[in-house]
Amino acid sequence: MHHVVLEQWARRTGPVHALDPRVKLGVTLLFLAAIATTPRVSVAQFAAYAGLLAGVVLAAGLPLGGVALRACIVLPLAGAFAAVSWLAGEPHRGLTILLKSYLSVFAALVLVGTTPVARLFGGLRRLGVPASLVLILQFLYRYLFVISEQVQHMRLAAQSRGALNRAPRRYRLLAPAGAIAVLFARSYQRAEAVYRAMLARGFTGQIEAAAPLRLGAGDLLAGGAAAGMVLAVRFGF
């Protein structure tokens, strides 16, 4: 599964992994902004952006092919928009959408592949993102695993009982429809239980959930250099 692989990558050690998450978040945001505001990505510029990302991936010791392949997840979605632009007689615009989406997802993957999620949330918190928002993100991430596991179990259970494969066509949607309803009800119930568990441990609505971070000179230097390169590619081509 995607998230498990990403977490294994994030747990590795190396110069990029060791950087302060705030620096990585800042540079990633800058990179995304640079891409989003580039009017028309030329081949050379695309290569330069991709080269920057590839450099970070290699410096972090992550498999370049693996990251590149996972970034393809955005292609079906971006591809649809690109196709519309293409059909509307703007092939270059379609290509730009495709390339920009791909590079953006690639950059996000590099960020989560080099930063353990706990540190990432800590960084967001320290950057001034409201605590309640970070808490919601944390819960989303935390319970994604629980819910996806539940989905797997329910799918297996349905399959083991035939999954309505031979039922009349209009009944076949019963299993997934029922599963969605049950998942929703269970998630609602679980949310209440989790809240109870939080109350039992003294939750008052406020929590400083960030592990202490230290921003060193090295972090700033690396962040500055990376930001400089992004800006050079953005405005230099």
DSSP classification of residue 74: G
**Site for another protein (CB under 8 A): which residue of 65, 128, 168, 202?**
202
Q: In whole angstroms, how close is the CB of 211 to another protein at the nearest point?
A: 6
How many angstroms separate the CA atoms of 38 and 180, rounded? 41
Residue number with CB closer to another protein (36 or 200): 200
Q: Binding to another protein (CB under 8 A): which residues in 111-140? A: 116-118, 121, 138-139
Closest by alpha carbon to 189, among 154, 143, 148, 153?
A: 143
Residues in the chain: 237
Residue number with CB closer to another protein (170 or 201): 201
Residue number with CB closer to another protein (85 or 187): 187
Decide if residue 188 touches another protein (CB under 8 A). no
CA distances from 93 to 42, 52, 73, 76, 110 (A): 11, 23, 20, 16, 26
Residue number with CB closer to another protein (32 or 207): 207
**Site for another protein (CB under 8 A): which residue of 133, 142, 153, 174?**
142
CB 58 within 8 A of CB 15: no
How many angstroms separate the CA atoms of 204 and 186, rounded? 25
Sites of contact with another protein (CB under 8 A): 7, 11, 116-118, 121, 138-139, 141-143, 145-146, 190, 193-194, 196-204, 206-212
